A = this chain, B = another copy of it.
Amino acid sequence: MPANRVTLKDIAQQTGLSTGTISRALADHPDISTETKTRVRDAAQAMSYIPNYRARYLRAKHSQLIALIVPEMNMFFVPSMIAGINRVVQQNDYSLIVFQSDNSIVQERRLAEYASHLSADGVLLVLSSETSDLQHLEVLHDCGIPVALLDRTIETSKYTTITIDDEEAGREAASYLMDRGHTRIVGVFGDQRQRISSMRLRGFRHAHAERSLPLGDSQIIRVTMMDDLEAQLERAFNEYPDISAVFTMTDDLLVHTHHLLARRGSRIPEDVSLMAISDGQAPSFLHPNVTHLRHSGIEVGERTAHILIGMIKHNSDAMMDVRIRTTLVEMGSVADRTRPTKRRAAR
């Protein structure tokens, strides 16, 4: 049953007033007497009136809608990021509409257009892995819809971006390990076409250069297909018997690497130390807990949402480039090789 919705007109008929009056009464407009207001409100209640936002926002230029486009619903990071965004969005009386691009630029374009069709007030975008330029976002720019890119992005001077300080995180992770006497470290990185990967790798390289440590090709693992990881790890361990630590760039890579290390019988941290960049969830349920540079998905989400809403409210077109720093969380997956005895103190 379609159950045709009650409209202002229906209430008007019922109460013998005009739709304009009903509208104002419901909106608590000062022009309407208190008496009428309560009468209207009661009638609306009784008839179970439901406002039609599509109609309302047809006149207004805003829709109170913020669109988020993510490449995939990864189990790591994305959920907490969405949670963060959602909180801020709801606090500011917006609604979040989530789209998934399936890592396809075609989809991404389609969704960006769709967001404009819905007249979203702003768009949050985590770029798909296929995306190498931002032309398809001009639709939004043309409509005057503010856009903020977060997490996975590419170089741009046009759009506001909010990212982890990826290069620094990569450098810090490697340095942390080096400080503890690890000189041969395997780095596990993602697809190099993504800025997040190349930057973290750059930092990793940088740390080696700073200390003039050699860095062999096989020490750097670039994972495009997760299936390749095992073979590449084996190759690295074969080529460099002195490997004492592994660094993984993301949670995804961490859990897989952790599993492969366990399978090959490497004890952590006795045989090999492990370190990651993570939001802290995966490290805390792996055993032993994994020392990592933490970036909170919630924080990234919240800050991004704040920034976007700021752009909407102030109609600002200014471009920002926000880098969020990571914090070190030591959890016992890294052995200190500078000290002769490496037994961990019992607590």
Which chain A residues have a beta carbon within 8 Å of chain B's beta carbons?
A: 1-3, 5, 48, 50-55, 57-58, 61, 63, 72-76, 78-80, 82-83, 86, 95-100, 113-114, 116-119, 139, 142-144, 255-256, 258-259, 262-263, 281, 284-289, 315, 317
- 13 CB-based A-B contacts, threshold 8 Å: A48-B142, A51-B117, A52-B117, A52-B119, A54-B54, A55-B58, A75-B79, A86-B100, A95-B97, A96-B99, A259-B285, A259-B287, A262-B288
Closest Cβ of chain B to A244, distance in Å, is: 20
Residues B285 and A255 in contact, CB atoms below 8 Å apart: yes
Protomer copies: 2
Cβ of A262: which chain B residues have Cβ within 8 Å of it?
Answer: 287-288
Bound-state CA distance A63–B75 (Å) is 30
- Which residue in chain B gives the minimum CB-CB distance to A289? B259
Cβ of A281: which chain B residues have Cβ within 8 Å of it?
Answer: 75
Residues B54 and A63 in contact, CB atoms below 8 Å apart: yes
Closest Cβ of chain B to A227, distance in Å, is: 13
Residues A286 and B315 in contact, CB atoms below 8 Å apart: no
Residues A75 and B72 in contact, CB atoms below 8 Å apart: no
For A2, A61, A98, A114, the residue with the greatest tally of chain B CB atoms inside 10 Å of its CB is A98
Closest Cβ of chain B to A160, distance in Å, is: 16
Cβ of A1: which chain B residues have Cβ within 8 Å of it?
Answer: 144, 315, 317
Q: Which 10 A/B pairs are nearest by Cβ-Cβ distance?
A: A262-B287, A73-B79, A3-B144, A255-B285, A98-B98, A97-B97, A53-B117, A73-B83, A54-B54, A75-B75
Kindly list 10 other residue pairs between chains A and B, CB separation below 8 angstroms, not including A51-B117, A54-B63: A2-B61, A2-B315, A48-B139, A53-B119, A54-B119, A75-B76, A86-B100, A95-B97, A95-B114, A255-B285
